[in-house]
Structure 1
Amino acid sequence: MTTSAQPYERYRGPEYRRLLAAARRSLERNGGEIKGSIGLTNPTTAERNAIIGITGTYRPADVRRITIPLAALEESVRNVTRMPLRDVLERIGPKLRFRADEQSALDQARQKILAEGEASPLHSEHAWYRQWLASLASDGTITGLINKKTTSLLSQAIRVLEYLYDRPRDAPPVMLPALADATTGDTKALNPGRGSLPTLVLRALAMARGIPLGSGAEARRELWDAFDVIVDDLASRVLVLNLPATGQGLGQWLTDAARYGTPFHITLHQLVTLPIAVNLPTVYVCENPAVLRRAAGELGASSPPLICAEGRPSTAFHRLARLIVEAGGTLLYHGDFDWPGIEMTNQLRDRYQAKPWRMGVGDYLSGVRADSDHVQLSGKRQDTCWEPELAEAMARENRAVYEEAVTDTLLADWS
């Protein structure tokens, strides 16, 4: 036994598709009210005949646009289906979405979320927190969380920030999984690649420090470390030579390594779990490990204390550099004569008051004359505030001079 098709099924036909789509847009725009007119441009023969059937008014074959009152379509649909137009549209398509109602609901949800953010003690205590919350509201982040039904992520981010700022100043560093577990109940919630939560928190921490949020893994690890949160304390390390220190374990190992002029890799885990003190008036810093390797091979234990950035400084590098400077030591830095190398020099000057060493215009021009590689400069030009003539000479020569090419000069100074 078969059942007859429902009367509204006829409106699934292609001759009604564009007309009902226009009706849907009109109802959604007007909150479901039957008012105004809808129309079709360049109707097909089937569409024209369907409209003639609805209105009872003939339309010529060459008509370019047909307009009918929405009320006429409503009346015709009711006569055929015994159902209002809205119900028919929702039987053959998705539920109608009324824009005004959705906007009102969105506004209420935004106000609720912002009220929760403003209720945090951080809101009255820290300008960076207010700036962070305002930026989330203005750039669409909060709207995105509402639409994805993930507003709980903002609540979790606020709990993370409150946890970090409520910790005693002398509290030991916390591992990232432990922080995530304490604030969200999920040890992996703050891991990279776990959605929006880590980014929400790191955006706030970057604003708290007054720096842009870096995109690289090391930049993010360094930002966490600035708030005593350890991401990967074994992967982050720094290479040193002849850096005696005090402190059980690591301090003893460094002192023994310096006695023999042996390079030593320090992990962030060691710096955190085996605290040291470095009381040296001057520590040299190089960019390339090949320089430190030659110093170890040719000077050995007579080389001055040296730490290596190994390209981009790691979190371990920054923690060690901070230890040296806070104890009254001075960092003397040498790096590549290219724009990224100059940028790193500026960063270390700003952060640790490091002094450029063998980074003058004379050193650069000597390197240009001795270097046979002729590598052109690339990247954005940087200022050399310690010697403005250097940037001018680099732009004029348009040649990079890498640290390995001038190692003989550096070793001559050290010996």
Structure 2
Amino acid sequence: MTEAAETYERYRGPEFRRLMAAARRSLERSGGEIEGSIGLTNPTTAERDAVIGITGTYRSVDVRRITISLSVLEKSVRTVTGMSLRDVLERIGPELRFRACERTTLEQTRHKILAESERSPLHTGHPWYRQWLAVLASDGTITALINKKDTHVLRQAVRVLEFLHSRPSGSPPVMLPSLADTTTGDTKALNHGRGSLPTLVLRALAMARGIPLATGAESRRELWDAFDVIVDDLASRVLVLNLPATGRGLGQWLTDAARYGTPFQITLHQLITLPIAVNLPTVYVCENPAVLRRAAGELGASSPPLICAEGRPSTAFHRLARLIVDNGGLLRYHGDFDWPGIAMTNALRIRYGAEPWRMNSADYLNGVRTDTEHVPLSGQSQDTPWDPTLAETMAKERLAVYEEAVADTLLKDWTPSANRTTEEFG
């Protein structure tokens, strides 16, 4: 060890340890300025002797706290080592961190990142995007990204969101690896567990839908599905009954299943790899699989064509619905008489021109009378443009009526013995 090293190594000793730690804290607070004093409470004999050696002033053994001017300590350290107090502290390690400077730099970086994110076109027309940025700024997320030197992740998240919201309506679904590759250059960047990027994007998408970000693989898949992003083309499915179609493989299977009145689960993978054409003037849509199950069990092959949204339409559902509508077919939809069910009705009306079926105020009141559950209506109210009195009646009655409770009425419409045409069903 060199003589210079020996001179500053002495300050690692136990008699100097607390003194140098106090000096470090003082310099970090002041930005490196040698000012003020530091002190030791209940000093040991070795610590007291060290301070006496530095200052040349005797300190009594019964003194509970001794102080020393930083300028005096600086002068003593320079005399002993030929180096400044700051140099010695950094030789001992770790490097000094000047908190005020760090805070200033952090704040400047935060402002820069936010300003860059606010230049996105999404910032102007989408309140959820502004809310997302505000939450990231207030909950420490952006600070954490800065500290981890991961600020590029926020820029990537913005690119993903811009890509999803710039896609034309009716665009085909995109596979998650393809989305990741297009926006980040890494096909696995949006996989769950791959850093903070997937969570950042999903938080934004949940805000865009006005829902809390739920945990679990299924919830994540459903949220991606809502924006036509396919996480797993085998997991995305749609349940159908009596939906004959043309096309190799899948078209044949659907036609055979309809011949026997057998429900059939179509995967998104099948819809993509085995294209079909559906040539039907009218297809009924229900929200709950229990209704389709009853139709299969009680009507079998005589039931009209039926597809099921299963609570929340999947990407497979949307792809199939688009096939039907683009070929001239009409979707007639029935769902729950609750606010999420009404929201879904509106969404299908807007997206596919779907016609609400058995979804007027009289149908609702009939359901209220026959339903024994009496579940309170909750959530954000929705408009019902096809029958404005429906929303008013639901708000007045304050009861939800789930689809299963009115299944008898639905099946009665579908029964061939009713001698009704599709157009007569109201």
Structure 1 match to 2:282: 282
Q: Distance in 1 between matches of 2:351 and 2:162?
A: 26
What is the TM-score with the length of structure 1 in the denominator? 0.72
Residue 238 of structure 1 aligns to a residue in which SS?
strand
For 1:149, give the aligned amino acid: K
Q: Distance in 2 between matches of 1:349 and 1:164?
A: 22
Tell whether 2:217 aligns with 1:219: no
1:320-331 equivalences under 5 Å are 320-331=320-331
* Range with greater deviation from structure 2 (108-117 or 281-290): 108-117
For 2:376, give the aligned amino acid: L
Structure 1 match to 2:266: 266
Q: Distance in 1 between matches of 2:374 and 2:90?
A: 67
Q: Distance in 1 between matches of 2:123 and 2:101?
A: 35
Residue 382 of structure 1 aligns to a residue in which SS?
coil
For 2:307, give the aligned amino acid: I
Structure 2 match to 1:414: 414
Contact 2:243 2:306 in 1 (8 A): yes
Over the residues paired in the alignment, what is the CA RMSD in angstroms? 4.7
Contact 1:132 1:203 in 2 (8 A): no
Structure 2 match to 1:292: 292
For 1:176, give the aligned amino acid: L
Q: Distance in 1 between matches of 2:304 and 2:265?
A: 17
Distance 1:381 1:187, change over 3 A: closer
Q: Distance in 2 between matches of 1:176 and 1:355?
A: 32
Q: Distance in 1 between matches of 2:296 and 2:129?
A: 47
Residue 293 of structure 1 aligns to a residue in which SS?
helix
1:328-367 equivalences under 5 Å are 328-367=328-367
Structure 1 match to 2:96: 96
1:115-126 equivalences under 5 Å are none
Q: State the Cα distance separating 1:289 from its structure 2 match.
A: 1.1
Q: Distance in 1 between matches of 2:287 and 2:197?
A: 34
For 1:408, give the aligned amino acid: D
1:43-58 equivalences under 5 Å are 43-46=41-44, 49=48, 54-56=54-56
Q: State the Cα distance separating 1:414 from its structure 2 match.
A: 1.8
Q: 1:19-68 CA distances to partner (integer Å, 9 max, x unpaired)?
A: 5444223322443232344456xx32449946566445577899898764
Contact 1:282 1:329 in 2 (8 A): yes
Structure 2 match to 1:390: 393
Q: Distance in 2 between matches of 1:87 and 1:368?
A: 81
Q: State the Cα distance separating 1:308 from its structure 2 match.
A: 0.8
Q: Distance in 2 between matches of 1:65 and 1:117?
A: 52
Q: 1:161-188 CA distances to partner (integer Å, 9 max, x unpaired)?
A: 8988999999976543355457666543
Structure 1 match to 2:424: none
Q: Distance in 1 between matches of 2:339 and 2:168?
A: 41
Contact 2:122 2:129 in 1 (8 A): no
Residue 323 of structure 2 aligns to a residue in which SS?
helix
Structure 1 match to 2:196: 196
Distance 1:71 1:193, change over 3 A: same
1:4-43 equivalences under 5 Å are 8=8, 11=11, 19-38=19-38, 43=41
Contact 2:237 2:316 in 1 (8 A): yes
Q: Distance in 1 between matches of 2:297 and 2:344?
A: 26
Q: Distance in 1 between matches of 2:130 and 2:339?
A: 35
Q: Distance in 1 between matches of 2:171 and 2:379?
A: 41
Q: Distance in 1 between matches of 2:131 and 2:56?
A: 57
Taking only the aligned residue pairs, the percentage that are identical comes to: 70
Q: Distance in 2 between matches of 1:239 and 1:331?
A: 15
Q: State the Cα distance separating 1:408 from its structure 2 match.
A: 1.2
What is the TM-score with the length of structure 2 in the denominator? 0.71
Residue 412 of structure 1 aligns to a residue in which SS?
helix
Q: State the Cα distance separating 1:332 from its structure 2 match.
A: 2.9
* Range with greater deviation from structure 2 (182-191 or 400-409): 182-191
For 2:304, give the aligned amino acid: P
Residue 291 of structure 1 aligns to a residue in which SS?
helix
Structure 1 match to 2:309: 309
Contact 2:375 2:401 in 1 (8 A): no
- Count residues with an aligned counterpart: 398
Q: Distance in 1 between matches of 2:168 and 2:396?
A: 50
Residue 220 of structure 1 aligns to a residue in which SS?
helix
For 1:392, give the aligned amino acid: A
Q: 1:221-274 CA distances to partner (integer Å, 9 max, x unpaired)?
A: 32552xxx5431111100011223344443343344334322221111122223
For 1:96, give the aligned amino acid: L
For 1:242, give the aligned amino acid: N
Structure 1 gap segments, 5+ residues each: none
Contact 2:339 2:379 in 1 (8 A): yes
For 2:225, give the aligned amino acid: E
Distance 1:8 1:246, change over 3 A: same
Q: State the Cα distance separating 1:70 from its structure 2 match.
A: 2.1
Structure 1 match to 2:257: 257
Q: 1:106-165 CA distances to partner (integer Å, 9 max, x unpaired)?
A: 6887799899989xxx96899679x97997697366654443233554676688789889
Q: State the Cα distance separating 1:334 from its structure 2 match.
A: 2.5
Contact 2:242 2:258 in 1 (8 A): yes
Q: Distance in 1 between matches of 2:121 and 2:401?
A: 51
Residue 332 of structure 1 aligns to a residue in which SS?
strand
Distance 1:23 1:150, change over 3 A: same
Q: Distance in 1 between matches of 2:343 and 2:172?
A: 32
Distance 1:204 1:381, change over 3 A: closer
Q: Distance in 1 between matches of 2:367 and 2:288?
A: 16
